Structure 1
C-alpha cells in the first residue's frame, strides 16, 4: 500500500520542549529545580493539562498542595513559551520538502491553552493539512481513540500513513492500528528513516 500521509508528533520531534529551560532561570539551586519538576510540576501533572484540564484549575489545586511553590507553579503557565528551546530544524525543515508529494498532519499530546502559543510562533505548523491536539479532544496518546479521531476527521487509512513519535507506547499503539512508524530519538536521522520507507523528499527545497 503506497504511503500518502505523514503524521508528526510535535514535542521531541518538531519542537524542543523541556521545562528545565524555564526553571533553570527560576531556581538558583539545581537540585531544588529537579525536585520541583519531579515532585511538584511533574510530567504526570502536566499530562492532565494535555488531557484537557485547564491550567487555572491545575495551578489552583497544586498551589493548595504546595503553597511554598505558589509563584513557581504559576510561572509554568505564565512563562510557558520559555519552556520551548526552539524547533528541531533538521526535522521541521522536512515539512516543506514533503508537502509536494504527501498530505501532512500532526497528532500531539499538548494543552489546548499552550499549543496556540507555539502555533503562532512557528510557521511550519500552518503548512500541515490538519492537526489533532489532545487537550482539545480530551484524549491523549496512546489511547487508540485519538488516533481514530485523526483517521476519521481527515479520511486517512493507517496502512497509507507513516506516524512519527519519540514515545515507544505511542509508537506501539500506532503499530497496533496498522500505521507504518518511525520511532524517533536524537540518535535517529528522520530524513534517512523516511527514505528507507520509500518516501520522496524534494532535495531541491532542502538545499
Structure 2
C-alpha cells in the first residue's frame, strides 16, 4: 500500500473487489474443464496468443464471442476439451456465474460516498455483460470501463481518464484493486493504493488515507 493521507476520492476496481475472487472463479472453471486449476490464468498471462486475445478484448477491439473462440482454441492446444455449441464456448458467461457480489464492499462504496468523498469505478472489462446485476450509475459518481475507452489497466492513460471523469487529481485519489501490479501502476501517477483482500482491511486502509468525513 502506497501514498499519503488526506485524499478525497476513491477509484474501485470491479472484479475481485466488488465481487468474490476472480482468481478463484478462473480456478473453479479450470477444474470444471478438467484442467489444472491455474492453467487458464497461466495462459492468459504467459501464453502470447492468449494474452493478445485478452488485451484485445479488454480494450474493446474484439467482442466476447471472438475472445472465447480464440481462447478455446488455445485451451485445446494445451490438451483441454472445450465444447462449442451454437452459443460458442460460453467461457466468460461460465466465469461470471461463479462471481458473486461482495455485499460488504458494495456497502463500503456507499459509506465512502456518504462521507463526502467522490467514488468511481475503473475496471478492465471481461465479457459483454460483465456488470449485470449492479446499478453502477447509482453506486458511483463516474464509471470508466476499459472496453469503452480503448485502454486498459495498467496503462497510465486508463488511470488518467478515470481521474478526469471523477473530477479528481491523481494526488487526491486512492485506487482499490485486487491486483498489486495495478496499484503499482497507479502509484506512478501519484495515486495512492490499497491492495484489496477483504472488506474490513480495505475499510481500515481507506480510513487512514482519506480526509475526514464531511460533517455536512
Task: With the length of structure 2 as denominator, give the TM-score of the two structures.
Answer: 0.73
Q: CA deviation at 1:133?
A: 0.7
Structure 1 residue aligned with 2:117: 102
Match of residue 51, structure 1, among 52, 55, 59 = 59
Q: Are 2:95 and 1:87 aligned?
A: no
Could you say what secondary structure the match of 1:74 adopts? coil
Q: CA deviation at 1:37?
A: 2.4
Structure 1 residue aligned with 2:69: 60
Which structure has greater helix proportion?
1
Which segment is superposed worse, 74-83 or 159-168?
74-83
Q: Are 2:37 and 1:34 aligned?
A: yes
Q: CA deviation at 1:141?
A: 0.7
RMSD, aligned CA: 3.1
Query: Gaps (5+ residues) in structure 1?
Result: 203-207
Cα distance per residue 1:152-199 (max 9 Å; x no partner): 233321111111112122111111101122122249711111112245
- Map 1:125-144 → 2, pairs under 5 A: 126-144=138-156
Match of residue 3, structure 1, among 7, 28, 41 = 7
CA contact (8 A) 1:20 1:83 kept: no
Could you say what secondary structure the match of 2:187 adopts? helix
Q: CA deviation at 1:77?
A: 3.5
Which segment is superposed worse, 42-51 or 89-98?
42-51
Structure 1: distance between partners of 2:163 and 2:210: 22
Which segment is superposed worse, 70-79 or 4-13?
70-79
Match of residue 180, structure 1, among 169, 192, 207 = 192
Q: CA deviation at 1:112?
A: 6.0
Structure 2 residue aligned with 1:19: 26
Q: CA deviation at 1:90?
A: 2.4
How many residues get paired?
Answer: 193
Task: With the length of structure 1 as denominator, give the TM-score of the two structures.
Answer: 0.76
Structure 1 residue aligned with 2:48: none
Q: CA deviation at 1:61?
A: 3.1
Query: Gaps (5+ residues) in structure 2?
Result: 46-50
Structure 1: distance between partners of 2:191 and 2:37: 36
Structure 1: distance between partners of 2:113 and 2:42: 42
Structure 2: distance between partners of 1:179 and 1:38: 27
